[in-house]
Structure 1
Amino acid sequence: MSALPEVISVHGGMSTSNGVTNTTPGGGLMPRETAPRSQSGVTRDYIAKQTPTTSIVNLMNSLPGVVSAKVDPLGMTPGDMMTMRGMTQSQIGFLFEGAPEADPINYGVSTSTLVDSENLGSLTVSQGSPDIDAPLINAAGGQIAAFEINPSHRMGGYVDVMGGTHSANKEFIRFNTGDIGNTGIRGFASFSYTSSNNWRGPGNQYRYHVDSKWVKEWGEDSSVKAIFAWTRQFNIGMLSPTLAQWKQYGYSYNLAGSYTPGDTTYYKLSQQNNNMVNVIVPMHFRLSRELELNATPYFIQQFGPSMGGENIPVSGGYFGNVAYGNGSSQYGSLNLPYQTNGNLSTLLSDPWNQKIGSVNASMKWTHGHNTLTFGWWYSYAAHTERYQFSLLNYQGKVVNGYGTSPIRFANGQILSGDNLNFWQQQNALYIADTLKLLHDKLELSAGFKAAMVSRQGTNLVPGADPWKTTGNYFEPLPQFYATYHIDPHNQVYINGTTAFRAPVSTEAYVPDYDPNAGQISAVGNLKPEYTIGEEIGFRHTGFWNLSVSAFNLNMTNHNISSSGYIPGSTLVVALPINAGGQTSRGFQAEFGLAPWHHISPYLSGQYLHSTMDNDFTVGGEVLPTKGRIAVSSPKFTGAIGLQYDDGRFFGNFNFRYTDSQYSTFMNDESIPSYMTSDLTLGYRMKSIGPAQHPQIQLNLTNIGDSHYLAMAASTTANAYDTLSRSGAVVAGSSPIYSIGAPFGAYVSLSSGF
């Protein structure tokens, strides 16, 4: 029996092999939304026309309020950076098929490890508040939900190959089983390989990825899905400059291409290894006409290592907080070969490992015009991490032997800056009720979540103070929504919501140490971040689509997740900062047309006024920061999109503007505004034998080749010396920045079969 071709089709749209239907207004950037809050989305109509390696964060860059730092043309750089209404990515909850994918401690998420873009079905972005049943403890600034495509009912597959600038290439293949007999089961499995040279400086990157999804459906409304993903990703790092270094060197501020003894910027020492195993099993059971049960168990494992170069002293350094190499120390000198000026050049390795097991379950009862939901979320996470050092020879290669891999003291102990063990348990109980009145035109919703987080962290290096810290948090989170459907096309809404974020990073509990400086971070303020938000908005859907909203957000204990290089190293350490209160106000809007003569335009924009509510204390001195503009909060952002698709020829153009952004609390340093634009051109052919709807696609990114700083990679109180409230001089400290990706050209060939 011959295999049937894999063709994704929707009534009223077109049939393609990659899921494009040309039915979403705004070229795939404005799907119909009815939620009583600010909410935007992205569908296959847009996703399939972007570079096949584009990250989830970059796919959202045209939506109102969203700013993403595209620092890699392929979207493979780990630790995607974005802001939304001035909130950083670590303040935005991220869900994939109902499971939270951010690191539950530092809240970073590498979206490139989650799913291939060929398998990504849709994105939903809630700019102000998370769902009450969302399993999140960091969604102070909103929520992003990503969903994978469902397996086809027909046996077949899809293949996509891409090549482009910087020796970029991607090979992708997916096979669908189709419906397996009368079992109600269908599934797919896919594999991809992606690689390229670094666009800036020496080195390369590559990625192996597997996706698989299986669906079992029965009855009128019951299903079980099983999602599996595996990723192995390798990147050579790129340096982040200060503003002065950017102005002096521009794109040439890079790691060294060859090794010089004592120079730790050698590119082969700066490595990121991101590995992930992801298992999610969303289940939905229709128990009766009025009762349904939802449960989503999931398991996530993420592990490294990350690596960088560092020179460490032979004598007079630190093991934890204890000096080594002097007469009074129990730890002797590191009398090893390959010394340079009293130092040893080493490869600093951070082999972190994290495992998360969880379940989120809820019961929903619908009776008449009333729907009651009650649920419980439980999660357990364990994180281990121990920095270690390996000796380098004069050629920059790791030396094996001499007790050097890793470097040990005479008593056998491994030299380390951190020996971390971190545990976290989360419980959340939530209840929500929705009442529909006036022939279902008026909807009133109220909910309450009680979130409980228990943490314990230890650092077992000698002299760590504190070596152990615990944290227990209870946060009450009420929500209220009201919406009125004027008619099937017009809706108004108002809401009041709360959200929180537990303290960010292990450094908030136990300090970091380094052989050169001893303690390099202080235990942060352990108060959770808490937000209270209000929105009012209007939405029209139909041939023309408009969504506008005004918002107000008040935050206490704003925990800014800054970062900085370990002294003398190319590895970055987290630096949590409590900046006090913050108030953010503004409005956003987006407009899109349904396809008209094959054309679909899209417009979006946001005005944001975000200010600090408190003075900031640094080194015992109070800086006059109250009322100053919050960091990473551009006043104006906007996007213009235009799509053409007649079923054969297609094209997509997107232009984005991002206003200037401050990077210090004192507003004494900022990055300039910038503009970027991307272009897609393509042609679909008729089916040729087993090749179903083959197409060729050209993607041009940053077509103006703008040279720009995309976002602040760290935050400081003041970049230059300034006076405190008492008149004392507070020394400046320069932030570092992420450099925006340059022009790129990529050609891809794809086809169903």
Structure 2
Amino acid sequence: MRAFTRSGVYLAVMSALSPGVALAADETDVGTINVQGQSLGGGMMVQEESAKARSTITKEAMKKQANIAGNALDRLKYSPGLNVNSNDSSGLSGVDYTMRGMSSDQIGLSMDGIPINDSGNYAVYPNLVGDEENLQEIFITQGSSEADGPHIGSSGGNIGLVTKRPAKEFGGFVKQTLGSNNLSKTFARLETGEYNGFSNWLSYSHTEAKKWRGEGRLYSNKFEMNSLYEAENGNSSNLIVKYNRQLNSNYNSISKAQFDQGGRYSNDYPATPQYNSSGQLSRYYKLNRNPFENLTVSFSQKLQLRDNLALTLQPYYYWGNGGSFSGQSANTLGPTSDRNGQYDLSNLTSNTYYRPSWTQTWRPGITTKLKWDINEAHSLDIGYWYERARQSQTQPFIAIKGDGNPVDLWGEPGGSGQVTDANGKTVQGRNQYTVTPAQKVWLQDTWYTTSDLTLVGGLAWQHVERRGNNKGSLEAAPEKRSKTYSELLPNFSASYKLNPENQLFYNLTRNMRTPQNYVLYNVGDSFSLEPEMSWNHELGWRFQGEDMMLSATLFYLNYTHRQVSTTNADGDYEMIDAGKVQNRGLELEWSGLLPYNFNYYASYTYTDTEQKNNTSRSGIEVPTSGKQIPNAPKNLLNLSLGYDDGLFYSNITGKYVGAFYGDMTNDQKIGGRTLFDLSAGVYLPVDKKIVKSATLRVGVENLFDKEYLTSARTVVTNADEHNGLRGATPYYNVGEERTFSVSLEATF
């Protein structure tokens, strides 16, 4: 059960307004939570106080899910509004999700105030989110980007990951997980305890698994740390560092026809080498690799200047280095391969090569925020965010050894085995360098008009510049381009408490998504593309009882200048303005307690998406007006029944995902699916002297071994012929077979 004071409500509102820039402590203070016995819905739902749709996944809920080795994004699979799919249960491979019909590259993702979406195309990769064992909670704002959120590509909502605080006492946590497909994850965390205001933890994990479909393996090593200093005067400092190094094999996507004919195991990369007509290696699973390493550093300094005035400074740094080759065949390079006269290839004979799409990113930034409690009725937030992202994107050609492995998997500049021309110049299939300075300033006032009515109004100004330097490659001549984008982003919300159990809220927010860096390098009218802008409306009700919580939200998201990648009449890539889209629907969430230590949780989302304009491919208009957005099922339903008596717990969860389309003209439809997951655990008896707690956990995903396609990986404009334009083939990610996992964990 949860109790609130006036100051508790105040902290909850302010925390909800500024999750991106607060310390971890502030990010988890969503009110005063007093838990006695089991929590409602197994921790899948907490009472939210902010005047907008918002959901929180607690540490308890993360631990009890069936996917024991899953990453943070896997933990969102039952949350309202979200449809989350992973390539496998290792937590290392690809992940995709939609939220209210918006794709993952339209949704902001931050971790302790650091933007995690790719700075160029806003893609999200599971290797960037760290070890789930080190997270305290995950929060979701389903439709509204935060006023102070460090995002330039969020036109539809926000997801925030909050790292756990260091413990006050010396100790540790260890966990060993084993599972299907040779899954093994070893995790250990050491807590130093508190000494003179300082407390720290340091962790390491190693994960590896075999691909469940096709040949190849996945490997990852993670090092993470959190150091916190809290002074008696209210000042605090928090340093969080996370490093990951992975070496994965990719999964191949398949078409609907291939799935219908050969099932889920069809068309992965071949287990034995395949050669072209010239006897050169063409296709082999050893070529389809994804090496990557990344580092995030976040430092938060909170200064309590006066009793009613606090300043937060948060510099951060993100570094990434890696790439992937996921093509259907090795790339051919020979004396006549250069279309733009950038290289002298007279020293080459025609051969096949491993050509990864390599990206290096350097991303420093800082968020500065001043919080001023003017009086009992007004609290003012003033802030400034600045980031200068630099991104180098190349495609070197790397020689292939006799055993089918590339000479060097890592395609970073200066790496071994890279092909050079007659003048010693490294041959590149792509060679682009993008600098993206971005800044935002905001002012927001929270007005407690009465003890029951709270109004929030704010205005942000965001300015983004894209500077592109195409250095010349096989595909393009050297060229420099730059473009700036500036928008005002207002927000307003109102919250009214009818009584201690019932709350009504309304929220209106304007969101902005800056065009991807592709517009600097694509052909046609890509360069003049406007930012994708959205207006998000939400009207909601929440109920909090002693043994039950309910929430219901009506949403309407109207966005313009939808950005779509397509091709022109010559087959060259271009970014186009696909016009207006309307997403509207309903979200329901319900959780509570039942007699005899049982609990339940349910969430339902209805999303109706509609494209308002026709679009074009290869210069030919196709009928997309009135059609649904691809990858956007209308219905999502989650039902969970749990049990926890303090000695044993179990959960059975069913998830229904409705039908969706793989193309913009809605020619190819993928049917809905219902999956069941099962999890259980035993709280082992311990002596408490050395081991404070220990738990044995078991999980089964896809309990009835359902075969299904999860989502379209390559969305096309039209799958059937329209106006003389031949259809293209959408390719889909494949749902994983039934998997088992077991873990043993202990806290010291």
Does structure 2 conserve the Cα–Cα contact (< 8 Å) formed by 1:635 and 1:659? yes
Q: Deviations over 1:658-699 (max 9, x none)?
A: 111112111101221112221111111121452222221111
In the TM superposition, 1:212-291 aligns within 5 A as 212-219=225-232, 221-250=234-263, 251-262=265-276, 263-291=281-309
| Structure 2 residue 60 is matched with structure 1 residue 61 | no
| Structure 2 residue 331 is matched with structure 1 residue 311 | yes
> What is aligned with 2:208?
195
When normalised by structure 1's length, the TM-score is 0.89
C-alpha separation between the residues in 2 aligned to 1:652 and 1:335? 61
| C-alpha spacing 1:260/1:631, structure 2 compared with 1 (3 Å) | closer
In the TM superposition, 1:376-525 aligns within 5 A as 376-398=384-406, 405-438=417-450, 440-461=451-472, 464=476, 467-504=479-516, 506-511=517-522, 523=526
Does structure 1 conserve the Cα–Cα contact (< 8 Å) formed by 2:471 and 2:477? no
C-alpha separation between the residues in 2 aligned to 1:575 and 1:155? 56
Does structure 2 conserve the Cα–Cα contact (< 8 Å) formed by 1:113 and 1:233? no
| Structure 2 residue 376 is matched with structure 1 residue 368 | yes
| C-alpha spacing 1:37/1:404, structure 2 compared with 1 (3 Å) | closer
C-alpha separation between the residues in 1 aligned to 2:685 and 2:218? 36
Q: Secondary structure at the match of 2:41?
A: helix
Q: Deviations over 1:640-662 (max 9, x none)?
A: 11221111111122211111111
The structure 2 residue matched to 1:355, chosen from 362, 367, 383, is: 362
Q: Secondary structure at the match of 2:368?
A: strand
> What is aligned with 2:686?
687
C-alpha separation between the residues in 2 aligned to 1:711 and 1:62? 16
| Structure 2 residue 717 is matched with structure 1 residue 717 | yes
Aligned partner letter, 1:453: V
Q: CA offset at residue 736 of structure 1?
A: 1.2
| C-alpha spacing 1:466/1:354, structure 2 compared with 1 (3 Å) | same
Q: Deviations over 1:725-746 (max 9, x none)?
A: xxxx011111111111211101
C-alpha separation between the residues in 2 aligned to 1:56 and 1:369? 37
> What is aligned with 1:659?
658
Q: CA offset at residue 155 of structure 1?
A: 0.3
| C-alpha spacing 1:492/1:690, structure 2 compared with 1 (3 Å) | same
Q: Secondary structure at the match of 1:507?
A: helix
Q: CA offset at residue 12 of structure 1?
A: 5.9
C-alpha separation between the residues in 1 aligned to 2:701 and 2:376? 52
Q: CA offset at residue 412 of structure 1?
A: 1.7
Q: CA offset at residue 88 of structure 1?
A: 0.4
| C-alpha spacing 1:596/1:680, structure 2 compared with 1 (3 Å) | same
Does structure 2 conserve the Cα–Cα contact (< 8 Å) formed by 1:261 and 1:394? no
| Structure 2 residue 93 is matched with structure 1 residue 77 | yes
Does structure 1 conserve the Cα–Cα contact (< 8 Å) formed by 2:692 and 2:747? yes
Does structure 2 conserve the Cα–Cα contact (< 8 Å) formed by 1:255 and 1:266? yes
Does structure 2 conserve the Cα–Cα contact (< 8 Å) formed by 1:706 and 1:742? yes
| C-alpha spacing 1:576/1:161, structure 2 compared with 1 (3 Å) | farther
Q: Secondary structure at the match of 1:90?
A: helix
C-alpha separation between the residues in 2 aligned to 1:227 and 1:627? 47
| Structure 2 residue 729 is matched with structure 1 residue 734 | yes
| C-alpha spacing 1:313/1:70, structure 2 compared with 1 (3 Å) | closer
Q: CA offset at residue 72 of structure 1?
A: 0.9
In the TM superposition, 1:619-698 aligns within 5 A as 619-688=618-687, 690-698=690-698
C-alpha separation between the residues in 2 aligned to 1:305 and 1:522? 28
| Structure 2 residue 747 is matched with structure 1 residue 752 | yes
Q: Secondary structure at the match of 2:714?
A: coil
Does structure 2 conserve the Cα–Cα contact (< 8 Å) formed by 1:73 and 1:742? no
Q: CA offset at residue 405 of structure 1?
A: 2.1
> What is aligned with 1:114?
129
> What is aligned with 2:544?
541
Q: Deviations over 1:286-326 (max 9, x none)?
A: 2212111122211110110323552314343225x349xxx
Q: Secondary structure at the match of 2:74?
A: helix
Q: CA offset at residue 453 of structure 1?
A: 0.2
Q: CA offset at residue 361 of structure 1?
A: 0.9
C-alpha separation between the residues in 1 aligned to 2:367 and 2:271? 48
Query: Quick one: percent identity of the two aligned structures?
Result: 27
| C-alpha spacing 1:617/1:551, structure 2 compared with 1 (3 Å) | same
Gaps of 5+ in 2: 1-31, 409-414
Q: CA offset at residue 620 of structure 1?
A: 2.2
Aligned partner letter, 2:519: A
Does structure 1 conserve the Cα–Cα contact (< 8 Å) formed by 2:69 and 2:177? no
| C-alpha spacing 1:602/1:561, structure 2 compared with 1 (3 Å) | farther
C-alpha separation between the residues in 1 aligned to 2:582 and 2:467? 31
| C-alpha spacing 1:13/1:482, structure 2 compared with 1 (3 Å) | closer
Aligned partner letter, 1:81: D
Q: Deviations over 1:151-174 (max 9, x none)?
A: 111101011001111010011111
> What is aligned with 2:577?
578
Aligned partner letter, 1:452: H
| C-alpha spacing 1:125/1:404, structure 2 compared with 1 (3 Å) | closer
Tell me which moved more, 213-222 or 159-168. Answer: 213-222
Q: CA offset at residue 525 of structure 1?
A: 5.4
C-alpha separation between the residues in 2 aligned to 1:574 and 1:147? 38
Aligned partner letter, 2:214: G
| C-alpha spacing 1:743/1:561, structure 2 compared with 1 (3 Å) | farther
Q: CA offset at residue 576 of structure 1?
A: 4.7
The structure 1 residue matched to 2:104, chosen from 83, 89, 92, is: 89
C-alpha separation between the residues in 2 aligned to 1:394 and 1:121? 48
- How many residue pairs match? The answer is 696
Q: Deviations over 1:10-65 (max 9, x none)?
A: 99658xxxxxxx65421111011011011111001111123332122221111111
| C-alpha spacing 1:52/1:618, structure 2 compared with 1 (3 Å) | same
C-alpha separation between the residues in 1 aligned to 2:642 and 2:660? 30
Q: Deviations over 1:132-157 (max 9, x none)?
A: 11111122110111111111111010
C-alpha separation between the residues in 2 aligned to 1:143 and 1:257? 40
Aligned partner letter, 1:529: E
Does structure 2 conserve the Cα–Cα contact (< 8 Å) formed by 1:679 and 1:703? yes
C-alpha separation between the residues in 2 aligned to 1:578 and 1:664? 17
Q: Deviations over 1:57-114 (max 9, x none)?
A: 2211111110011221222114x21000010011111111122111121112223432
Q: CA offset at residue 495 of structure 1?
A: 1.6
Aligned partner letter, 2:356: S
C-alpha separation between the residues in 2 aligned to 1:305 and 1:614? 35
Does structure 1 conserve the Cα–Cα contact (< 8 Å) formed by 2:188 and 2:204? yes
Q: Secondary structure at the match of 1:45?
A: helix
Q: CA offset at residue 333 of structure 1?
A: 4.0
> What is aligned with 1:48?
63
Does structure 2 conserve the Cα–Cα contact (< 8 Å) formed by 1:371 and 1:433? yes
> What is aligned with 1:550?
554
Q: Secondary structure at the match of 1:483?
A: strand
Does structure 1 conserve the Cα–Cα contact (< 8 Å) formed by 2:202 and 2:224? yes
| Structure 2 residue 213 is matched with structure 1 residue 209 | no
| C-alpha spacing 1:111/1:32, structure 2 compared with 1 (3 Å) | farther
Q: Secondary structure at the match of 1:302?
A: strand
The structure 1 residue matched to 2:180, chosen from 148, 151, 165, is: 165
Does structure 2 conserve the Cα–Cα contact (< 8 Å) formed by 1:192 and 1:209? yes
| C-alpha spacing 1:471/1:524, structure 2 compared with 1 (3 Å) | closer
| Structure 2 residue 714 is matched with structure 1 residue 700 | no
Does structure 1 conserve the Cα–Cα contact (< 8 Å) formed by 2:40 and 2:599? yes
Does structure 2 conserve the Cα–Cα contact (< 8 Å) formed by 1:53 and 1:74? yes
Does structure 1 conserve the Cα–Cα contact (< 8 Å) formed by 2:331 and 2:353? yes
C-alpha separation between the residues in 1 aligned to 2:106 and 2:330? 31
Q: CA offset at residue 334 of structure 1?
A: 5.1
RMSD: 2.3
| C-alpha spacing 1:223/1:45, structure 2 compared with 1 (3 Å) | same
Does structure 1 conserve the Cα–Cα contact (< 8 Å) formed by 2:333 and 2:353? no
